[in-house]
Amino acid sequence: MVVTGAAVVALAVSGCADFSAQDEQRAAGPFSSNDNTFTPKSEPPPTSTPPQSPPSGPCIDPDPAVIATCLESTAGIAPGDESGQSTVVAERTTGKIITQQRYGPHRELGSVPVDSSGDGGLIDFAFSPTYSQDRLIYALITTPSDNRIVRLAPGDVAKPILVGIPKGATGNMGSMYFRSPTELIVATGNAGNPAAASDRSSLAGKILLVTALGSGANPPPKILASGMGSAVALCPNPATGALYVADQTATEDRLQAIEDAGPKVLWTWPDKPQIAGCAAAAGSIYVSTTRTQHIEAVNEPTRERPTITAPVVVLERRYGALGRMTALPNGLIQFATLNKERGRPTPNDDRVAIIQGGASGDNRA
């Protein structure tokens, strides 16, 4: 979902790390009415052409492809507008959802208390399909006891939607998106336990279909696929309905297609470049890597061209360690860096930058 500048608001979510308040709200029913004193904040629509002369001051990156700077360690990412010139990104360690456009200030759309130890924290988020009316954001977060999905609303505490996703010292990174207004697809990491990923009684290492989106006691989600590894990233193609997933295992990194018959492996990387994100755009599936600092692309399989050819490197060691990605309908791809966590941070890290899809070996943003 693309969130336009006019839809940007600040969510006044309770800021202290009181996870018990979330559990108490499980049986609280619908959200309470928004505080009438809440004043939405909007930002001017982003422009596709940045100023000729950049402003002075800290956190100004001269690279024209960089659209957000000075972020804390990043996680999930979403386009902030249809042009791709603004972004919305989760700060894993702070629990904040931040929006920014080039040379613009950080604006906080929401925040939630998280346990950011290991690779946990604010893992991903998804805007309600009716966000312009209800201002709801769904977030995948880590608490001291579990990973869970919560729902954020202006002036209200975070309310649990799905709890009890296993938490580990590692293997917490997952992903989610709305496939339809009533279907939330969620990928969970294996919590550092590959056996749990294969155990149908565990929510770790799974692709889940969540249709019960209210607070309170909800029925278990449907399991669409099992056996996921760590750092699980979903990359849907809305144009075709295809769903791809990238993850890391003990023996290889891999890219799979989620089909009715189960996951189908499209490509593997035995050298384990630490794939952290993926995006489908312009006939290609892109993956970002943390260790090798690449963006690589493979052709998206079709009925006419079902064979996958070897990945092509389309971006190499330009921005450091790379994290999550997201694609826009216009073929642009946004990607976030992980230099504060896994690389050598510059004064402007962490950052979000853009690259044009339609990969060739010489493609650059």
Please tell me the predicted confidence (pLDDT) of residue 30: 41
Tokens of 166: 């296993």
What contacts 24+ positions apart, CB below 8 Å, involve 30-36? 30/214, 30/215, 31/151, 31/153, 31/156, 31/159, 31/215, 32/155, 32/156, 34/135, 34/153, 34/154, 34/155, 34/156, 35/154, 35/155
CA distance to 46, 107, 292, 293, 340, per residue, from 96 (Å): 21, 10, 28, 25, 16
Residue 133 makes CB contacts below 8 A (sequence gap 6+) with none
Half-sphere exposure of 351 (CA within 13 A, CB side): 25
One digit per residue, the tens of pLDDT, for the chain of length 365 reads 666 544 544 444 444 455 666 655 554 444 333 333 223 333 333 444 444 467 777 899 999 999 999 999 999 999 999 999 999 999 999 999 999 999 999 999 999 999 999 999 999 999 999 999 999 999 999 999 999 999 999 989 999 999 999 999 999 999 999 999 999 999 999 999 999 999 999 999 999 999 999 887 789 999 999 999 999 999 999 989 999 999 999 999 999 999 999 999 999 999 999 999 999 999 999 999 999 999 999 999 988 889 999 999 999 999 999 999 999 999 999 999 999 999 999 999 999 999 998 744 334 34
Q: Is 246 left (phi over 0), alpha (psi -120 to 50) or beta?
A: beta
The Cβ of residue 340 has, within 10 Å, a number of other Cβ atoms equal to 18
Residue 303 tokens, joined: 């009925």
The per-type count for the chain, helices as H runs and strands as E runs, is 4, 24
Query: DSSP alpha helices (H): ranges in the chain?
Result: 19-24, 131-134, 194-198, 339-342
Type of residue at 337: T
Do residues 113 and 23 make contact, with C-beta atoms less than 8 angstroms apart?
A: no
The rounded distance, in Å, linking the Cα atoms of 128 and 352 is 23
The confidence score (pLDDT) of residue 57 equals 75
3-state secondary structure of 26: helix
Tokens 């130890």, located at residue: 117
Q: Classify the phi-psi angles of 240: left when phi > 0, otherwise alpha if psi is within -120 to 50, otherwise beta.
A: alpha
The answer for residues whose C-beta is within 8 angstroms of residue 115's C-beta and 6 or more apart is: 19, 121, 142, 143, 144, 167
> What is the pTM for the complete model shown?
0.87
Q: Quote the pLDDT of residue 54.
A: 73
CB-based contact 213:151 (threshold 8 Å): yes
Q: How far apart are CA 318 and CA 364, in angstroms?
A: 10
CA distance 95 to 140: 10
Give the integer Cα–Cα distance in Å for 121 and 144: 10
What's the pLDDT at 102?
94
Separation of alpha carbons 78 and 181, rounded Å? 17
First to last CA, the chain: 22
Strands 312-316 and 137-142: unpaired
Spell out the domains of the chain, with CATH numbers in brackets.
Answer: 66-356 (2.120.10.30)
